Amino acid sequence: MNSEIICVGTELLVGDILNTNVKYISEKLAAIGINLYYQTVVGDNHKRLKEVLEAAYKRADLVILTGGLGPTIDDITKEVVAEYHNEKLVKVDKYYDILAKRYKQMNAEVPAGGIKEVSILENSRLLENEVGIAPGFLYEKDNKITIVMPGPPREMTVMLDKEVMPELLKYSNDLIRFRTLKIMGVPEGKVDEDLAEYFVMSNPTVAPYAKTGEVHVRIGAKGENEEELIREIDRIEKEIREIYPDNIYTTGDESFNDVVVRTLREKGLTLATAESVTGGKIADYIVGVSGASKVYKGGFITYSNEEKENLLGIDKEKIDKYGAVSSEICMEMLLGTERKIPADIYIVSTGVAGPDKDEKGNEVGTVFIGLSIKGEKSIRKYDYSGMRNAIRERAVRAALLELWKLIK
């Protein structure tokens, strides 16, 4: 079964409201094997909504509309769908009674718009609204299914789960199961090359999604037997993990920062930092996770050479000789932090974020990350390109990735 979602509302087109309904509906449809090929947003315009509806029926067996079920003049969804199918709108008595009671308390009559709000298409199936006052409906004609639901997410989600999904299950014999592998430290282009043979498969499917600083690879399998689907997904995950043994940090909902902090807690390890080029962002990523107080001891932001001397005790002569952006000073930062804060692991950063080279001629994007874990020290140099904040962000992620590789 092929489907299309139509979201009605000018407020969606102009960006006044974030359209979360499409994400929620899409995930539900995918889980029961219903193909979704189009998502359309249309404003509160009678002519354009009718055109969109007509196009949807030409390419989809199931058309789901959300929004435009209210009492005002610009709530036109029910009227347009009724006109398109040459059906009448009929009020639902139970909802009308609730509405009439509300207006009676205000010493007022129910307006025509209110009657529209509590109406559905004649010859349709009522979809109960447990949260609001506008009922939805399911309508079948000419081998096409039309589902109309309210726009407010708190109403739509309940109606979809309790009323719509049980009905749609009758039309789907297939299941679809997904699993997402979250990959850090591998450029999107490299993932495209490495997994090219997987991306052309039809069932199961493997698809990459670029995220900030990482790539997510989603594996999907479609069929009637759930055990077989999971087994197939397991097989592909195993193969991809062999390609990236140190870069897949989770298949769950956790962020990379969550995983780092959780792993530190599970291992009983503590962390301290000293940051120059990253300016406290490494610490910020850690302490932004609940439970970080169990693992993060503290740190320094030694952005200037003077504070490298004052806070970490680094000799000025060494800074003058090697420059603040050097493997030697990165090592001195590690040693200085070790002297100041007792911890199991230390991370330090120094580098050139731009816009110009430093006094020693280091290019913009030159970054040194130092790690010390129970006395074992390592310094790694990175050469980044891009804008100032992008360089700093990449340095933070590189530091945390190196940390995670050591402790996982």
Q: Where does a domain end: 171, 199, 231?
A: 171
What is the domain count for the chain? 3
pLDDT at 202: 87
Strand, coil or helix: 122 = coil
Answer with the one of 116, 142, 171 that is the final residue of a domain: 171
CATH of the domain at 73: 3.40.980.10
Q: Tokens for 261?
A: 């902090």
Residues 128 and 221 in one domain: no
As given in the structure block, the two tokens for residue 334 are: 């590690």
Q: Are residues 307 and 244 in the same domain?
A: no
Using DSSP's 3-state secondary structure scheme, residue 207 falls into strand
Task: Name, in order, each residue with C-beta under 8 angstroms of 293's C-beta and a sequence gap of 6 or more.
Answer: 287
- The confidence score (pLDDT) of residue 171 equals 83
pLDDT for 253 equals 92
Q: Which domain holds residue 312?
A: 256-407
Boundary-marking domain end, from 194, 223, 250: 250
Side-chain half-sphere CA neighbours of 320 within 13 A: 3
Residues 140 and 197 in one domain: no
Same domain, 165 and 286: no
* 338 strand-pairing partners: none
Query: Same domain, yes or no, for 260 and 393?
Result: yes
Residues 128 and 9 both lie in one domain: yes
CATH number of 198's domain: 3.30.70.2860
Tell me the CATH number at 395: 3.90.950.20
What does the pLDDT read at residue 14?
93
Alpha-carbon span 161 to 169, nearest angstrom: 11
Rounded CA gap, 213 and 222, in Å? 30
Partners of 375 in beta bridges: none
pLDDT at residue 13, rounded to an integer: 93
Distance CA 277, CA 352 (A): 7
Residue whose pair of structure tokens reads 């000018």 in the numeric block: 10
pTM: predicted TM-score of the whole model, two decimal places: 0.74
Are residue 112 and residue 188 in the same domain, yes or no?
no
pLDDT tens, residue order, the chain (408 aa): 899 999 999 999 999 999 999 999 999 998 888 999 999 999 999 999 999 999 999 999 999 999 999 999 999 999 999 999 999 999 999 999 999 999 999 999 899 899 999 999 999 999 999 999 999 999 999 999 999 999 999 999 999 999 999 999 888 777 888 999 999 999 999 999 999 999 999 899 999 998 888 999 999 998 889 999 999 999 999 999 999 999 999 999 999 999 999 999 999 999 999 999 999 999 999 999 999 999 999 999 999 999 999 999 999 999 999 999 999 999 999 999 999 999 999 999 999 999 999 999 999 999 999 999 988 999 999 999 999 999 999 999 999 999 999 999
Amino acid 95: pLDDT? 96
* Closest residue by Cα to residue 71 from 113, 112, 106: 113
